[in-house]
């Protein structure tokens, strides 16, 4: 008898949890539909190119992010007094992405790091 009470209680609790889950799903669907209706209304109300219309901001691609990451890592290595590592990182950037927008900056930094490396060798 006691097991039957527990079983009924658990079933009632499960039913209540399922009911809550359904209500939340319906609420989310209504909210999404309302947002879509509002976006459609705003798009119809504003003419194309209106000053109040938000312009989409282009996100940089993964390639550009990787290029920037390599450039920053090489610059930090140069600042940390590791010109050889810095040159290697710049070389990796230039070999992987020869047409990058950072190529001129990387080449100039390589020349500067080579001068640092050459100046450090006789002293050692």
Per-residue pLDDT tens listing for the chain (124 residues): 899 999 999 999 999 999 999 999 999 999 999 999 998 888 888 776 555 556 566 667 788 888 999 999 999 998 998 989 999 999 999 999 888 888 999 999 999 989 888 887 765 4
Residue located via tokens 């920053």: 72
Res 62: pLDDT: 85
In a domain? residue 2:
yes
Q: For residues 121 and 124, give the distance between their C-alpha atoms in angstroms, rounded to a whole number.
A: 5
Query: From the CB of residue 77, how many other CB atoms can be counted at a distance below 10 Å?
Result: 19
Q: Flag whether the pTM goes above 0.85.
A: no
Contact call for residues 48 and 54 (beta carbons, < 8 A): no
- Domain with 21, as residue range(s), is 1-49
Tally of domains in the chain: 2
| Residue (of 98, 70, 97, 63) closest to 85 by Cα position | 70
In a domain? residue 107:
yes
In a domain? residue 117:
yes
Residues 40 and 76 in one domain: no
Residues 86 and 116 in one domain: yes
Res 98: pLDDT: 87
Ramachandran region, residue 68 (left: φ > 0; alpha: ψ -120 to 50; beta: rest): alpha
| Residue (of 74, 85, 71, 72) closest to 117 by Cα position | 85
In a domain? residue 57:
no
């Amino acid at each position: 008898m006691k097991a039957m009470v527990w079983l009924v209680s658990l079933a009632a609790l499960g039913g209540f949890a399922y009911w809550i889950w359904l209500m939340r799903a319906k609420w989310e669907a209504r909210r999404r539909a309302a947002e879509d209706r509002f976006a459609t209304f705003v798009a119809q109300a504003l003419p194309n190119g209106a000053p109040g219309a938000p312009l989409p901001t282009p996100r940089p691609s993964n390639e550009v992010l990787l290029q920037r990451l390599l450039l920053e890592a090489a610059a930090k290595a140069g600042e940390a007094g590791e010109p050889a590592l810095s040159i290697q990182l710049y070389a990796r950037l230039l070999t992987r992405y020869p047409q990058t927008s950072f190529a001129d900056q990387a080449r100039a930094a390589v020349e500067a790091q080579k001068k640092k490396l050459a100046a450090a060798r006789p002293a050692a």
